[in-house]
Amino acid sequence: MSGIVTYGAYVPRLRLPLRMISEGQPGAKQGRGKSGERSVCNWDEDVITMGVEAARDCLSGGVQDIDSVWLSSTTAPFADRQNSGVIMGALNLGESLGSQDIGGSQRAGTTALINALNMSGEAKKLVIASENRHVRAGSPHELRFGDGAAAFTTGNHDVIAEFLGCASRTMDFVDHFRASGEQDDYFWEERWIRDEGAMKIVPQTIEIALAKAGLSADEIDHAILPSPVPRLRERIAKAAGLKEEAIAPALEGTVGDTGCAHPLLMLAATLEKASPGETILVVSFGQGCDALLLRTTDALAGYAPATGVTGTVAARREISDYAKYLSFAGLIERELGMRAEGDNKTALTQAYRRRDLLHGLVGGECSACGTRQLPRTRYCINPNCRELDTQEPFCFADIPARIVTWSADHLSFNPDPPSHYGLIEFEDGGRMFANFAEVVPGQIDVGTRMRMAFRIKDFDRKRNFRRYFWKAVPEMAPSEETRDQPHG
pLDDT, tens digit only, all 488 positions of the chain: 899 999 999 999 999 999 888 887 766 666 566 789 999 999 999 999 999 999 999 998 777 789 999 999 999 999 999 999 999 999 999 899 999 999 999 999 999 999 999 987 778 999 999 999 888 888 888 999 999 999 999 999 899 999 999 999 999 999 999 998 888 888 989 999 999 999 999 999 999 999 999 999 999 999 999 988 888 999 999 999 999 999 999 999 899 999 999 999 999 999 999 999 999 999 999 999 999 999 999 999 999 999 999 999 999 999 988 888 888 888 877 767 766 677 778 888 988 999 999 999 999 999 999 999 999 999 999 999 999 999 999 999 999 999 999 999 988 888 888 999 999 999 999 999 999 999 988 889 999 999 999 999 998 888 889 999 999 999 875 444 455 654 43
The pLDDT of residue 477: 52
Query: 123 to each of 97, 157, 432, how far by Cα in Å?
Result: 11, 9, 35
Q: Residue 45 carries which side chain, given as an amino acid letter?
A: E
User: Residue 49 phi/psi, 5° resolution?
Assistant: -65, -40
Query: 176 to each of 111, 196, 218, 326, how far by Cα in Å?
Result: 19, 14, 32, 23
Q: CA–CA separation, 5 vs 155, rounded Å?
A: 6
Q: List 134's β-bridge partners, or say none.
A: none
User: Residue 90 phi/psi, 5° resolution?
Assistant: -65, -30
Q: List domains and CATH numbers for the chain.
A: 3-328 (3.40.47.10), 338-361+396-476 (2.40.50)
Q: CA–CA separation, 7 vs 2, rounded Å?
A: 15
List of residues 6+ apart from 348 with CB closer than 8 A: none
Q: CA–CA separation, 63 vs 455, rounded Å?
A: 23
**Structural contact between residues 387 and 378, judged by C-beta atoms closer than 8 angstroms:** no
- Report the interhelical angle of 83-90 vs 47-58 (nearest 10°): 50
Residue count of the chain, please give it.
488
Tell whether omega for the bond before 375 is within 30 degrees of 0, i.e. cis. Answer: yes
Q: List 223's β-bridge partners, or say none.
A: 247, 281
List of residues 6+ apart from 465 with CB closer than 8 A: 346, 459
pTM for this model (two decimals): 0.93
Written in H, E and C, the secondary structure of the chain is CCEEEEEEEECCCEEEEHHHHHHCCCCCCCCCCCCCEEECCCCCCCHHHHHHHHHHHHCCCCCCCEEEEEEECCCCCCCCCCHHHHHHHHCCCCCCCEEEEECCCCCHHHHHHHHHHHCCCCCEEEEEEEECCCCCCCCHHHHHECCEEEEEEEECCCCCEEEEEEEEEECCCCCEECCCCCCCCEECCHHHHHHHHHHHHHHHHHHHHHHHHCCCHHHCCEEECCCCCCCCHHHHHHHHCCCHHHECCCCCCCCCECHHHHHHHHHHHHHHHCCCCCEEEEEEECCEEEEEEEEECHHHHHCCCCCHHHHHHHCCEECCCHHHHHHHCCCCCCCCCHHHCCCCCCCHHHHHHCHHHHCCCEEEEECCCCCEECCCCCECCCCCCCCECCEEEEECCCCCEEEEEEEEECCCCCCCCCEEEEEEEECCCCEEEEEECCCCCCCCCCCCEEEEEEEEEEEECCCCEEEEEEEEEECCCCCCCEECCCCC
